[in-house]
Structure formats: C-alpha cells, structure tokens
Amino acid sequence: MLSYLISSLGFLGAIMLQFGVISRTALLSGFGDLVLLFVAAWSLHQNSKHFWVLVALFGALVGFISAVPAFIFVIVYLLVYLGATAIRLRVWQSPLLGMFLLTFVGTLLEHVLLALVSLFSGASFSLQLAFNEILLPSVLINMLLAIPVHALVQEITRSIYPQGYEV
Amino acid sequence: MRNLFTSKNIRNVVIGLVAAGLVFLAVSGYLTPIFSFSLSPVISGQSWLAQRYLAVRDFLTSPREMATLRQENQELRDEVSQLQGEIVALQENLSQAQILYTLLDFARSNPEHEYVAATVIGRDISPYMQYMIIDKGSNDGIQYGMPVVTQQGLVGRIDAVIANAARIRLISDANSYVNVRLQNADVEAQIHGSITGEIVLDMVPQSANVSVGEVLLTSGLGGTYPPNIFVGQVITMQSKQNTLFQSGSVQAMVDFSSVNAVLVITNFDVVDITPLVP
C-alpha cells in the first residue's frame, strides 16, 4: 500500500513539474516528458502487482489536462510499463541501460502517436519540421533527463522495496 | 644629658637620615632610573607570566567562544537566507504586480470589454500543440470560446473549462485560424499556426501590396474574436504566380513563451457559425 501511495505522489509531482516547468522549457520546439520517464523508471524498479492501474489512471489524468485525446497517453504509458516489465525480467542487471532503451523507444512511440493525432486533426503538418524541430530535441532532452530521474526513483524504490530488483 | 650619642641612637639617626634622603631622592625623581633598572626583570617576568596565563585561559575558554560564534554565525546565515527568500518573494510579487498593473492599464484603455485576469500555470504536454493552462475557470465566469488577450495583443481563445482552471488554444496552434485585417493595406486575410508555433499569413489577394512590418489586427469576421485587436507583424511575404493568394510569415505581438498573465474577455458573444458550414 505504501508503494502505491508513494508512486501516486510521484506521479502527481511529475505531472505538476511537467505542465508547470518542463513544458515551458523548450529546446527548439521540443521538450521532455517527465511522466513518461517516471513511468519507465518506476516500472523498472517496482514490485507491485497492480502498478499498471496507476499508470492507466495517471495517463488518463494527463490526457484530461492536455488537449490530446486521453487514450494516447494511456496507451503510451502502458506500453512503456509493459516494456519495462519485459526488460526487468530479462536484462535486470543493467537497469540504466533498460531506462535508456525505454526512454528512446517510448519517446519515439509517443511522438509518432502525437504526430498522427495532429495530422488527423487537420493541422498543416511537415514531417521534416516535426522530425528536426520537435522529435530530435525531445529525444535528446528525455535521454538527458533519464539519468537523474532513474537515480532518484532508484533511491526511493530502495527504501520502499528493501529486497528490490535492482543490483 | 645622659649619653645621647650612644651607638644605638647614632644608628637610628643614620638610618632615619638615609631613609629621608631616599624618600627625598625618590620624590625628586632621581631614583627613577634605578627603579626602572631594578624593576625591569620583575616586569619582564610578570609579562611572561601574564602572557602564559592569557594563553592558558584562551586555550581553556576559546572552544566555548568558538561554539558561540559558530552558533551566532549560523543564526545570522539563517536570517540572511530568510531575508533573501523574502526579497525574492517580494520581487516576484512586484513583478506580478507590474504585470497586473499593465493589464489593468490595458483594460482601462479598452473599456468596451469586460476582463478577467488570470495567471498562466502551465503549457500542454504535447509539443505539437500550442495550449496554455490558466488558473481561472467557470467559477470566475469563464466559458468556452472566450477570447484571451494581453496588453500586447491577441493570445487565443478558451478551449476547455473546469471549475478553477481553463485551457487556452493559442493563435500559434496548428488548428487555430484567425481572420485578420492588414492595417495599412486595408486587406483582409487569415492566419493560422503550425506544429512548431510559427504563424502563417494566408489568403492575401495577389493584388494586395503588403509590405514587411505591416501590422495585423483581428477583423472580427467569423465572430470568434472581437475586431481591432493586435495580432502581429508581417515578417516575410511570398507571392507565387501559380497560386491564388499570397502567403507569408507573422511575428506575433505576444511572446507566448514568456506570458505569465492574461486577460479573458468575458462579455464577447462568440457566434457559432457551424450550422452555416456546408
């Protein structure tokens, strides 16, 4: 129960930081997704059975705040959670590598879906512009933020799960 | 007279005279060098002793003084930190007050509208969409579709509302279209945003002579925005022979990345022309 409480607080903190700070700190036109990083890092280290419910709930909350349809974030975050679970079971000795992999793939997946939403909503869309001005800077920021987020979540999960999965 | 000059009396008299002489010499200052010379070893010894005493006393008492000083130092540092925090808070309040005063000036100079001031508390998580979140919602009279401005110009319109917050679609969003009027050319056109937040000027007739720096104002067509609100300035223009209209790029009057407070126009009735669209 404590892990659910702390992870919920972590989700709330990540969402507030995302909308209040990260989204206003753009590199070209791209910026990071702290919630995605939190989902990836926590999923790599958590040991709770129903954590995916929290992922879905907070993904829906992000979608509710955002102008993007809510199911996009639910899908992306649940896929990141599933990916983290698969990585944890196979390459559990190197959680940081898993974090980088999840961040990279998750960001690509998220941006593909967001770009598709933007495209289907009738917006004038330039693939080259989206790639150069939004996708690449966002991937770079996410990869840079992945290290401190992973370190922080690892420290928190060590105190919650004394027999944690990380080495 | 019996034997006054005994040896004992003579000795006493001599001693008395010598003593009186010494007192006289001492009072007269003639013995000072002798005193100085004779007392200097004593004074040196006393100085040495006093220095050793002070050293020992300092050794014994200084740790307590150091602790006291450290404690005072820490207290002063805490006080300085607290005061610096108060200064930062006051500066933030001052900055906020200046923004609100500017908005108030704008509201006073445009009395035809009623405004609700709101603070920007966030941006959308999707970098492909240009949205802002403000701290005022339906409890403050804000409704869907209301135009949003700052003292510099048009920001966008309300896209979604809850009780205590609202989401604004900026004019730089890719799905945002605004009918505008070029102030000097007296031509009507349209602007729309893009996924990167750049604003494109479109629907400018080929016959129009539009120069760089031309100011754009809302035209009021379509009923989504009130007329005569500053929108931006023309940066570049493109005219191709095989197209019906000229196009160009626009620099918005409002710097969307640094907007902290906005005004929502609450007495503007948005015209819904959806039923007229074929």
CATH number of B191's domain: 2.40.10.340
Question: What residue of B is the nearest CA neighbor of A64?
Answer: B160
- Any idea which of B92-96, B118-122, B149-153 has the lowest mean pLDDT? B92-96
Locate A103 and state its tokens.
Answer: 């961040």
Q: Nearest-CA distance from B126 to chain A in Å?
A: 7
Closest CA to A5 of A156, A150, A147, A152: A156
State whether B167 and A67 contact (CB < 8 Å). yes
Q: CA-to-CA distance for A96 and A41, rounded, in angstroms?
A: 9
**C-alpha distance from residue A165 to each of A77, A147, B220 (Å):** 21, 18, 62
State whether B127 and A68 contact (CB < 8 Å). no
Q: CA-to-CA distance for B101 and B178, rounded, in angstroms?
A: 28
Check pLDDT > 70 for residue B77: yes
What phi and psi, each to the nearest 5 degrees, are found at residue B111? -75, -5
Contacts of A19 in chain B (CB under 8 A): 121-125, 133
**C-alpha distance from residue B73 to each of B1, B5, B69, B275 (Å):** 87, 81, 6, 73
Read off the DSSP letter of residue B241.
Answer: T
The per-residue pLDDT for B93 is 84
Q: Nearest-CA distance from B67 to chain A in Å?
A: 35
Read off the DSSP letter of residue A164.
Answer: -
Size of interface A-B (CB pairs under 8 A): 91
Closest CA to B132 of A23, A123, A13: A23
Task: List pLDDT tens digits, range A44-89.
Answer: 888 778 888 999 999 999 999 999 998 999 999 999 999 998 888 7
Check pLDDT > 60 for residue B22: yes
The per-residue pLDDT for B52 is 85
Spatial contact of A71 and A63, defined as CB atoms under 8 Å apart: yes
Read off the DSSP letter of residue B277.
Answer: -
Asked if B28 and B141 sit in the same domain, the reply is no
State whether A26 and B129 contact (CB < 8 Å). no
Check pLDDT > 80 for residue B107: no
Spatial contact of B148 and B273, defined as CB atoms under 8 Å apart: no
Question: What residue of A is the nearest CA neighbor of B174?
Answer: A123
Spatial contact of B270 and B225, defined as CB atoms under 8 Å apart: no
Q: Say whether the ipTM exceeds 0.85.
A: yes
Asked if B21 and B99 sit in the same domain, the reply is yes
State whether A68 and B124 contact (CB < 8 Å). yes
Task: List pLDDT tens digits, range A33-42.
Answer: 999 999 999 9
- Taking all residues of chain B, what is their mean pLDDT, rounded to a whole number? 86
Q: Nearest-CA distance from A91 to chain B in Å?
A: 31
The per-residue pLDDT for A162 is 67
Print the domain residue range for B171: 116-270
What lies within 8 Å, CB to CB, of B155 at 6+ separation is B132, B148, B149, B168, B170, B171, B254, B256, B259, B262
The per-residue pLDDT for A105 is 95
Q: Which of B58, B76, B109 corresponds to the end of one domain?
A: B109
Asked if B54 and B187 sit in the same domain, the reply is no
The per-residue pLDDT for A144 is 94
Instruction: Name the band, by pLDDT with cuts 50, 70 and 90, for residue B222.
Output: confident
Question: Is B45 among the domain residues?
Answer: yes
- The set of long-range contacts for B12-18, using a CB threshold of 8 Å and a minimum separation of 24, is none
- In CATH terms, is domain A2-160 a member of 3.40.50? no
State whether B129 and A20 contact (CB < 8 Å). no
Q: CA-to-CA distance for B58 and B40, rounded, in angstroms?
A: 26
Q: CA-to-CA distance for A64 and A78, rounded, in angstroms?
A: 16
Q: How many domains does chain B have?
A: 2
What phi and psi, each to the nearest 5 degrees, are found at residue B245? -125, 155
Asked if B104 and B174 sit in the same domain, the reply is no
The per-residue pLDDT for A146 is 94
One-letter identity of residue B157: R
Asked if B52 and B16 sit in the same domain, the reply is yes
Asked if B152 and B243 sit in the same domain, the reply is yes
What lies within 8 Å, CB to CB, of B218 at 6+ separation is B154, B178, B179, B180, B181, B225, B226, B227, B228, B229, B231
Spatial contact of B265 and B115, defined as CB atoms under 8 Å apart: yes
CB atoms within 10 A of CB A162: 7
Q: Which of B109, B130, B148 corresponds to the end of one domain?
A: B109
- Taking all residues of chain A, what is their mean pLDDT, rounded to a whole number? 88
Q: Which of B109, B128, B154 corresponds to the end of one domain?
A: B109
Asked if B94 and B121 sit in the same domain, the reply is no
Asked if B83 and B147 sit in the same domain, the reply is no
Asked if B236 and B151 sit in the same domain, the reply is yes
The per-residue pLDDT for A51 is 87
The per-residue pLDDT for A157 is 86
DSSP string, B178-197: EEEEETTTTEEEEEE--TTS
State whether B195 and A62 contact (CB < 8 Å). no
What lies within 8 Å, CB to CB, of A95 at 6+ separation is A44, A45, A88, A150, A154, A165, A166
Which residue reads 């808070």 in tokens? Answer: B89
- What are the strands, taking DSSP E only, across B186-267? 187-192, 199-205, 215-218, 230-238, 245-252, 261-265
| A94/B74: higher pLDDT | B74
The per-residue pLDDT for A137 is 94
| A161/B214: higher pLDDT | B214
Asked if B100 and B125 sit in the same domain, the reply is no
Task: List pLDDT tens digits, range B41-68.
Answer: 877 888 888 888 888 877 777 666 677 8
Asked if B148 and B259 sit in the same domain, the reply is yes
Write down the number of H helices and E strands in chain A: 7, 0
Q: CA-to-CA distance for A126 and A19, rounded, in angstroms?
A: 25
The per-residue pLDDT for B64 is 64
State whether A129 and B195 contact (CB < 8 Å). yes
Asked if B179 and B130 sit in the same domain, the reply is yes
Q: For B85-110, give one letter per residue: b (16+ CB within 10 A) or e.
A: eeeeeeeeeeeeeebeeebeebbeeb
List the single residue in A20, A114, A115 with the smallest CB-CB distance to B122. Answer: A20
What would the mean pLDDT of B3-19 be, rounded to a whole number? 86
Check pLDDT > 60 for residue A164: no
Measure the N-to-C terminal CA separation of chain B; round to a whole number of Å.
162
What phi and psi, each to the nearest 5 degrees, are found at residue B268? -100, 125
Contacts of B127 in chain A (CB under 8 A): 26, 29-31, 114, 134, 138
State whether A67 and B128 contact (CB < 8 Å). no
